[in-house]
């Protein structure tokens, strides 16, 4: 059985991509899944979320053929390993040679690696550049965190336009899952956004809502996920439930 590669992607910043990547991956690992996280954002915040801040080499160096994937992969928790961003990742966006092959670097690496894993989650940068293109080349499945505001909807519209272009060029159809992240369940605006999403993305919104909580912003400063920082909290329960939804493909019904 081949590994499931999922891009956690949204071109808008501040919607919870890294928070979702780190906590969902850890929740899956705690359920016995073998999971690899790829920090595909040059800011390297995913590594920080696990207390890993000392790595100079990472996926950037691998894509530029300066080192191997195995040499930069580190175990961060039971059943969970991290491939850090690395200092060279920002150079990928500046590549000018190689034509379309510049967008196919990650797929080629993953094609021959990590086959013993159940899931590979790619934490993408908030941009539509060459790094995002590499993630879209490498996967057939997208996990799209969404916050409950209209700017987030606008960002989703831009992302979908990019995705449609890739589907046409690559002649494939992405499986898309939306995650309601940083969501304020009592705000009228949040409910309006949810109704719009349900109308346009039926059967594609995972059932559990990740509710806004200050603890989710606190835990990376301790190098911990919410499942370690406050395992009995509402947010920890949200992510354990989201992991179940993800595994079972459990979605919201109706607007």
Task: Give the Cβ contact number of residue 198 at 10 Å.
Answer: 18
Task: Give the Cβ contact number of residue 205 at 10 Å.
Answer: 22
DSSP type of residue 2: P
Report the pLDDT value the prediction gives residue 187, as an integer from 0 to 100.
79
- The neighbouring-strand residues paired with 38 are 83, 122
pTM across the whole model: 0.94
pLDDT above 90 for 72: yes
Mean pLDDT over the full length of the chain: 91
Task: Taking residues 203-207, report their average pLDDT.
Answer: 96
Summarised one tens digit per residue, pLDDT across range 16-57 is 899 999 999 999 999 999 999 999 999 999 999 999 877 789
Give the domain ranges of the chain.
4-248
Summarised one tens digit per residue, pLDDT across range 115-128 is 999 999 999 998 87
pLDDT above 60 for 103: yes
Give the percent of the chain with pLDDT over 70.
96
Which string of b and e fits 162-190 if b means at least 16 CB within 10 Å?
ebeebeeeeeeebebbbbbbbbeeeeeeb
Report the pLDDT value the prediction gives residue 186, as an integer from 0 to 100.
74
Burial class (CB in 10 A: 0-12, 13-18, 19+), 161: exposed
pLDDT above 80 for 95: no
- Are 60 and 89 in contact by the 8 Å Cβ rule? The answer is yes
- Does the domain at 4-248 match CATH 3.30.930.10? Answer given as no
pLDDT above 70 for 252: yes
Report the pLDDT value the prediction gives residue 100, as an integer from 0 to 100.
67
Summarised one tens digit per residue, pLDDT across range 147-184 is 878 888 888 999 999 999 999 999 999 999 999 988 78
């Amino acid at each position: 059985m081949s590994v499931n590669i999922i891009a956690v992607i949204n071109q808008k910043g501040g919607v919870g991509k890294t928070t979702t990547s780190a906590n969902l991956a850890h929740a899956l690992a705690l359920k016995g899944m073998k999971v690899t996280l790829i920090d595909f954002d040059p800011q390297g915040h995913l590594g920080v979320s696990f207390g890993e801040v000392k790595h100079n080499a990472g996926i950037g160096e691998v894509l530029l053929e300066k080192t191997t994937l195995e040499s930069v992969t580190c175990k961060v928790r039971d059943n969970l390993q991290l491939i850090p961003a690395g200092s060279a990742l920002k150079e990928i966006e500046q590549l000018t040679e190689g034509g379309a092959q510049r967008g196919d670097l990650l797929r080629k690496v993953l094609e021959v690696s990590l086959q013993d894993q159940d899931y590979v989650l790619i934490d993408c940068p908030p941009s539509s550049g060459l790094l995002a293109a590499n993630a879209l080349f490498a996967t057939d499945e997208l996990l799209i965190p969404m916050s409950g505001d209209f700017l987030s909807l606008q960002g989703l519209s831009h992302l979908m336009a990019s995705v449609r272009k890739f589907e046409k060029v690559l002649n494939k159809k992405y499986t898309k899952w939306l995650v309601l992240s940083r969501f304020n369940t009592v705000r009228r605006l949040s409910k309006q956004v949810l109704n719009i999403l349900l109308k346009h993305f039926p059967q594609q919104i995972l059932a559990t809502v990740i509710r806004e909580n200050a603890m989710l912003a606190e835990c990376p400063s301790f190098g911990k996920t919410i499942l370690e920082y406050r395992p009995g909290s509402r947010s920890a329960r949200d992510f354990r439930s989201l992991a179940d939804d993800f595994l079972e493909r459990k979605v919201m019904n109706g607007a």
